[in-house]
């Protein structure tokens, strides 16, 4: 193993070949799932789940009737952000819509998921070295839920691809004095937000981090954030104009609400219906904090984290248990990633990623916890885990730098 690592360090061509093999192996398994893993008699007797079915119908309505609306045939709405429905509609417009076009969506998502493996490698390489990127790429390439979700008509695969692309460009932009990369980061951030809006509140984080850590460059940080914001607004503007013209109201992201109210207690079926989830939810959580503070804090920390990360979101028919032998990889990524995040206390290279992860998971804990929430954060957790492994097992002679 030491000889192999030494050879990898000495040959960029060999290292590149190893990365290419990992990406292609990841693509191979994703294509297996696209072609051979199917479900029957799901929503309304179709082969699609509830959300898959309505996303698909939404794309069909866009192509055939020019109507953008979720769970509606003729009335437009802004219940969901437009990124993923437009992605589906583009594929349907090119290939038609039907069982065959659904397969094309799965194949394209398999390719995007494989490219995401390479993006993880580049992020790991940028914050540390090539070996860190390689370790992280291996984790992501063979992590069963990432492969599994690439065959669903759901937002996860496209969002992960868009977010990783944004994050890589954001890291690159923060290293440069040029403003163009910051504008590009803003465009890509908007692209990710239009697929899944949860991380919107985190977008100023890289600039706030550099504002408070890079003391000589505070004015530059504000300028760069302004350029970033301009890029963000540029891509968001068509969505805002559409909502104002079609729906006659300004809708910043979408009208879908997160289930904050129903995430306050473990058994949400015990809660009465409400017309104002946010207001009633705040009142209810304050009540629980006063009457049962320890139990409430435990539910919002240990309880929800255990549900989200306690096991991998990977359900598949018996007889087709692809990658079943890799179920322990989930716990390896979670544990090594958590330990990697702890190194942020004394290694600045990993601090921005750690802040993204901590705040992202923190926002998720406000709502109903589901295993699906873990899938989009796994790539950055893999980078943290790879960073920790590379840091711990580097040679003492390497000194402070661990770049290959």
| Range name among 201-210, 252-261, 385-394 with the lowest pLDDT average | 252-261
**114 pLDDT above the threshold of 90:** yes
**pLDDT, tens digit, for every residue of 281-314?**
888 889 888 999 999 999 999 999 999 999 999 9
**142 pLDDT above the threshold of 90:** yes
Boundaries of every domain in the chain: 2-256+292-395, 259-291
- Higher local confidence (pLDDT), 72 or 151: 151
In this prediction, residue 3 carries a pLDDT of: 61
In this prediction, residue 398 carries a pLDDT of: 46
The pLDDT of 380-400, averaged and rounded, is 78
**343 pLDDT above the threshold of 90:** yes
In this prediction, residue 404 carries a pLDDT of: 39
Per-chain mean pLDDT for the chain: 90
pLDDT band at 359 (very low <50, low <70, confident <90, very high): very high
Percent of the chain with pLDDT over 90: 71
**pLDDT, tens digit, for every residue of 9-40?**
567 888 889 999 999 999 999 999 999 998 88
pLDDT band at 7 (very low <50, low <70, confident <90, very high): low
In this prediction, residue 400 carries a pLDDT of: 43
**pLDDT, tens digit, for every residue of 40-91?**
889 988 899 999 999 999 999 999 999 999 998 789 999 999 999 999 999 9
The pTM score is: 0.93
In this prediction, residue 309 carries a pLDDT of: 96
**108 pLDDT above the threshold of 50:** yes
The pLDDT of 340-351, averaged and rounded, is 92
In this prediction, residue 73 carries a pLDDT of: 78
In this prediction, residue 198 carries a pLDDT of: 86
**396 pLDDT above the threshold of 60:** no
One-letter-per-residue 3-state SS of the chain: CHHHHHHHHHCHHHHHHHHHHHHHHHHHHHHHHHHHCCCCCCHHHCCCCHHHHHHHHHHHHHHHHCCCCCCCCCCCCCCCCCHHHHHHHHHHHHHCCCHHHHHHHHHHHHHHHHHHHHHHHHHHHHHCCHHHHHHHHHHHHCCHHHHHHCCCCCCHHHHHHHHHHHHHHHHHHHCCCCCHHHHHHHHHHHHHHCCCHHHHHHCCHHHHHHHHHCHHHHHHHHHHHHHHHHHHHHHHHHHHHHHHHHCCCCCCCCCCCCCCHHHCCCCHHHCCCCCCHHHHHHHHHHHHHHHCHHHHHHHHHHHHHHHHHCCCCCCCCCCCCCCHHHCHHHHHHHHHHHHHHHHHHCCHHHHHHHHHHHHHHHHHCCCCCCHHHHHHHHHHHHHHHHHHHHHHCCCHHHCCCCCC
In this prediction, residue 397 carries a pLDDT of: 44
| Range name among 189-198, 237-246, 318-327 with the lowest pLDDT average | 318-327
């Amino acid at each position: 193993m030491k000889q192999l690592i030494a050879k990898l360090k000495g040959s960029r061509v060999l290292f590149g070949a190893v990365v290419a093999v990992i990406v292609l192996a990841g693509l191979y398994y994703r294509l297996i799932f696209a072609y051979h893993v199917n479900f029957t008699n799901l929503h309304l007797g179709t082969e699609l789940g509830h959300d898959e079915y309505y996303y698909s119908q939404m794309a069909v309505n866009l192509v055939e009737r020019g109507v953008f609306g979720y769970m509606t045939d003729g009335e437009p709405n802004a219940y969901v952000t437009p990124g993923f429905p437009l992605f589906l509609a583009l594929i349907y417009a090119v290939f038609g819509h039907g069982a065959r076009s659904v397969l094309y969506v799965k194949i394209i998502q398999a390719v995007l998921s494989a490219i995401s493996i390479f993006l993880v490698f580049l992020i790991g390489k940028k914050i540390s070295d090539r070996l860190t990127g390689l370790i992280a790429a291996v984790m992501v390439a063979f992590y069963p839920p990432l492969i599994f979700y690439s065959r669903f008509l759901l937002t996860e695969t496209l969002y992960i691809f868009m977010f990783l692309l944004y994050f890589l460009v954001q890291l690159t932009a923060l290293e440069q004095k040029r403003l163009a990369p910051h504008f590009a980061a803003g465009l890509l951030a908007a692209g990710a937000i239009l697929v899944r809006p949860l991380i919107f509140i985190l977008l100023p984080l890289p600039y706030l981090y550099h504002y408070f850590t890079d003391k000589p460059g505070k004015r530059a940080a504000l300028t760069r954030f302004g350029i970033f914001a301009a890029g963000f607004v540029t891509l968001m503007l068509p969505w805002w104009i559409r909502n104002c013209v079609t729906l006659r109201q300004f809708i910043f992201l979408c009208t879908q609400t997160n289930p904050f109210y129903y995430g306050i207690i473990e058994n949400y079926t015990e809660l009465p219906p409400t017309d104002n989830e946010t207001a009633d939810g705040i009142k209810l959580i304050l009540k629980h904090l006063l009457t049962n503070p320890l139990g409430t804090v435990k539910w919002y920390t240990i309880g929800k984290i255990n549900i989200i990360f306690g096991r991998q979101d990977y359900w598949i028919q018996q007889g087709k248990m692809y990658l079943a032998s890799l179920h322990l990889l989930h716990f390896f990524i979670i544990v090594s990633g958590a330990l990697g995040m702890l190194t942020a206390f004394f290694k600045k290279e990993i601090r921005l990623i750690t802040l993204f992860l901590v705040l992202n998971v923190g926002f998720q804990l406000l709502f109903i916890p589901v295993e699906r929430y873990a899938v989009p954060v796994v790539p950055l957790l893999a980078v943290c885990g790879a960073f920790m492994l590379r840091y711990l097992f580097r040679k003492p002679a390497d000194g402070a730098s661990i770049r290959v």
